[in-house]
Amino acid sequence: MIPNQWYVVLDSTQVKTKPVGVTRMGEKLVFWRDATGKVACARDHCVHRGVALSKGKVLPNGTLQCPFHGFEYDAGGKVTKIPANGKNAPVPERFKVHSYPTHEAHGFIWIWWGENPPDTLEPPRFFDDLDDTFTYGQVRDPWDAHYSRVIENQLDVVHLPFVHHNTIGRGNRTLVDGPIVQWADGDRFCFYVYNRVDDGTPPRRPEDMPAPDPERDFHLGFIFPNLWQNYIADDVRVMAAFVPVDDEHTLLYLRFYQRFLRVPVLRDLVNWLSMYFNAYVAHQDRRVVVTQEPKPSALRIDEKLIQGDRPIIEYRRRRQELIDAAK
């Protein structure tokens, strides 16, 4: 995983009135809402005797109470009360569990995964063109794969006619022109897909192709470290968050966004039904991706990449830069 990044880790509906324990980034974490409703996140480990804080409860004042001896934790991970010492007894500074900054927006919960967050921590980015005019359906799909492999699958434009021969890859368009990759900045890029039937001519190189038109040409986008969007049409998108569980497991939060139908009941029905197809397509991918070795991808591993893999190459290059910069 890339340190010092905002990661989507949960859907907002997963954290309600009780503490929630999950594994993310290879760590056991606990999430809860304080008295104002803001999400808090800390390591799921009481500093006193090591029990899981997620088995405790949230008190009316918003602190998280350990189920073993009643230690109370604030949103910053600091113990505010040790009942056995008396309610007015001061708590030593060392009684603190590591906590993570959180952000909640667009129906997601992010954590800033790092050791020393900056004083002026900017909020995480999301896709500017996915606003409140869209509604969506969602599935949470477990993959036995490293999150980098699941991401790269969605950057892979070469596999479509083979893995998805009876769904989104129909038409035997095996030859790949480009693809064209455009960086918005160091955290965001989009790429344009041009697959066609092999007529015996070689694939065109990106520099030999006309400039793409974002309003017309099919394209996909990625925001580091774990957000992806398929721009199908102005009113239709598929979006994914690739949530790292540990080195061998990922949760895919897959959403179908649309705004062509806004009648509440029909809209919700379409959003829900659309996820059957999108989940089926994702499972076509999953069957293959879980077999990849080594489990995590990297900039330099024993793989012989081709021109059509350019989005993957760009992702690996930038990912390695961010990992190196965090050292």
Tens-digit pLDDT profile for residues 266-295: 999 999 999 999 999 999 999 999 999 999
For residue 57, which amino acid is it? K
**Which residues belong to CATH 2.102.10.10 in the chain?**
5-113
Cβ 284 vs Cβ 149: under 8 Å: no
Task: Please compute Rg for the chain using Cα positions.
Answer: 22
Residue type, 196: R
Instruction: Name the CATH topology of 135-325.
Output: Naphthalene 1,2-dioxygenase Alpha Subunit; Chain A, domain 1 (3.90.380)
DSSP 76: T
CATH superfamily, domain 5-113, is Rieske [2Fe-2S] iron-sulphur domain (2.102.10.10)
Per-residue model confidence as pLDDT tens digits over 62-94: 999 999 999 999 999 999 999 999 989 999 999
Predicted confidence at residue 102, as pLDDT, reads 97
pLDDT at residue 217 above 80?
no
User: The sheet that has 188-196: what strands, in order across it?
Assistant: 135-143, 249-258, 236-246, 227-233, 219-223, 188-196, 175-185
The ranges of the chain annotated as CATH 3.90.380.10 are: 135-325
pLDDT tens-digit profile of 6-29?
A: 999 999 999 999 999 999 999 999
Q: How far apart are CA 150 and CA 144, in angstroms?
A: 10
Quote the tokens at residue 81: 């009360």
The contacts of residue 313 (CB under 8 Å, 6+ apart) are 305
Report the sign of the C-alpha dihedral through residues 137, 140, 143, 146, in that order. positive
> Which stretches does DSSP call E strand in 114-167?
135-143
Q: Is residue 214's pLDDT more than 90?
A: no
E strands, 97-187, are 102-105, 108-113, 135-143, 175-185
Q: For residue 99, what is the DSSP state? A: B
In whole angstroms, give the CA distance from residue 236 to residue 230.
9
